[in-house]
Structure 1
Amino acid sequence: MGKLMQDKVGIVTAAGNGIGRASALAFAEEGAKLVVSDINEEDGMETVRQIEANGGDAIFVYCNVAEEQQVIDLVKRTVSHYGRLDWAHNNAGIGAPTKPIAETETADWDRCVQITQTSLYFSLKHQIPAMLESGGGAIVNTASTSGLLGSENLATYSAAKWAVNGLTKSVALEYGKQGIRVNSICPGMTLTASVEAWSKEVPEQAKYVENDIPLGRMARPEEQAQAAVFLCSDKASYITGVNLAVDGGQTAK
């Protein structure tokens, strides 16, 4: 049985740690060739090292996705190195301070929108022409369950993630007939390094969160990664425009 992404070429943004690194490793395990992108060169190179140690094929390209020219250069470098672009996991994004909207800072709003929402616009804008030249492709964007529901004291973050989901649906409609599928994953609470640190600092709060999840635990980054791989693979060939909750059933309530 062949690997799901054998020899398909793609990009993972914010791939230096957390869900991004798990995604890059998962795509490589399924036979993909990929460009690992991050603003932290050391972390990104470590992701590449781990891929290569497992026999995979990857290179690192520095990219601040909030800068359009750097996104253009990222796509060009991918095509020049591997000859095509078949898929992308647009994973980059940031959080925002937890406050009621009247107490938020405009600078925090602007930064979250630029890095989470506008960066996705840049990525889609420049990835899609390269995919069209390659005969089609698949894109997965990382949103959040906060992009499916209202999130108290997280209006800035929630608005940006709703925008990710809206872009996903709109662009899926625009390019479906040209052979490009666009979906998003909407992670629930996931045990990234920062969440693990928080869980140790406030174990009672972490336990409360876990108990509120129907499956009774937080997700592992690898579980988010597998969802991204599936949506980019031919196994999901009739799925597009979907905002997939990967949340242990939390949004089912």
Structure 2
Amino acid sequence: MRLTVFAPTRLKRSLERAFFCSTAADKWEGMVSMVQGTSRGIGLEFENFRFPLNSGFNVKQLLEKNDEGHVIATCRNPNQATGLLKLKNKFLERLSILPLDVTKENTIEHMLPLLKAGGGFGTEKKHAIIASLSARVGSIGDNGLGGWHSYRASKTALNQLTKTICVEFGRKKDPIVCILLHPGTVDTDLSRPFQRNVPPGKLFTKEFSVQNMLSIIDNVKSSDNGKFFAWDGQEIPW
């Protein structure tokens, strides 16, 4: 899952060119957030959170905890995302749901212009934020147990890709900051088969994990570009 936080002014013009009409964009106030992978689990929980101006990660928390800001929720099959559709009924003017499949380039190729919208005039943020969900098991330096070969390798690949694009964005002076987040072990369908081995107090609710990650995102600075954070704010070695 990935969270992207945009600011409004220049974003409006990009949205008009990409997929929204100007009348819709003109109604938006505050920051605009895009959450990728929102049909269930942590991504859906992000929809509900409230953020001062820079709503973003969990669609649920982003909407319920903030009176302003617009959320763009994306998933492969919006028509089958019952949780998202319920939120749409509740937040008709503040939630847009779009199809996005990472295996289909035409569903994502309008996203870079939105990112380059950056901070925008009159906002607290001078940069867009890309926050990707990784996992501590993707850290080579933290690997003391072995095992989980494919999962570790996939997360390590995500970490390397994120590090690479943050260097490239920085070189081009694009107003974009990329970070990686480890949510902890969260009580979701994905983790259920492995929860038996989780130590007491280390299995987190979606609400708790997302609230902590949103706090990290809210305090991201330009100097954090390319960093890897755990749910509690501690930096994780590569």
Shift in CA distance, 70/147, structure 1 to aligned 2, threshold 3 Å:
same
Q: Aligned equivalents of 2:103 and 2:164: distance in 1? A: 21
Residue 178 of structure 1 aligns to a residue whose secondary structure is: coil
Percent pairwise identity: 20
Question: Is 1:24 matched up with 2:24?
Answer: no
Question: Is 1:35 matched up with 2:58?
Answer: no
Shift in CA distance, 56/231, structure 1 to aligned 2, threshold 3 Å:
farther
Residue 199 of structure 2 aligns to a residue whose secondary structure is: helix
Structure 1 counterpart of 2:189: 193
Structure 1 counterpart of 2:161: 167
Structure 2 counterpart of 1:223: 208
Alpha-carbon shift at residue 63 of structure 1 (Å): 1.9
Instruction: Tell me if the contact between 1:16 and 1:46 (Cα under 8 Å) persists in the aligned partners.
Output: yes
Alpha-carbon shift at residue 243 of structure 1 (Å): 0.9
TM-score scaled by length of structure 1: 0.60
Aligned residues: 182
Instruction: Tell me if the contact between 1:145 and 1:247 (Cα under 8 Å) persists in the aligned partners.
Output: no
The match for 1:158 among 152, 155, 159 is 152
Alpha-carbon shift at residue 144 of structure 1 (Å): 0.9
Shift in CA distance, 183/165, structure 1 to aligned 2, threshold 3 Å:
same
Instruction: Tell me if the contact between 1:184 and 1:242 (Cα under 8 Å) persists in the aligned partners.
Output: yes
Alpha-carbon shift at residue 248 of structure 1 (Å): 10
Q: Which sections of structure 2, spanning at least 5 residues, go unmatched?
A: 1-6, 8-28, 46-57, 120-126
Alpha-carbon shift at residue 132 of structure 1 (Å): 1.4
Q: Aligned equivalents of 2:160 and 2:153: distance in 1? A: 10
Instruction: Tell me if the contact between 1:15 and 1:37 (Cα under 8 Å) persists in the aligned partners.
Output: yes
Residue 65 of structure 1 aligns to a residue whose secondary structure is: coil
Instruction: Write 1 or 2 for the structure with the bigger share of helix.
Output: 1
Alpha-carbon displacement from aligned partner over 1:146-177 (angstroms, at most 9, x marks no partner)? 21244633211211111111222222232244
Stretch of structure 1 that moved more, 15-24 or 25-34: 25-34
Question: Over aligned residue pairs, what C-alpha RMSD do you find?
Answer: 3.0
Q: Which sections of structure 1, spanning at least 5 residues, go unmatched?
A: 77-126, 200-204
Residue 47 of structure 1 aligns to a residue whose secondary structure is: helix
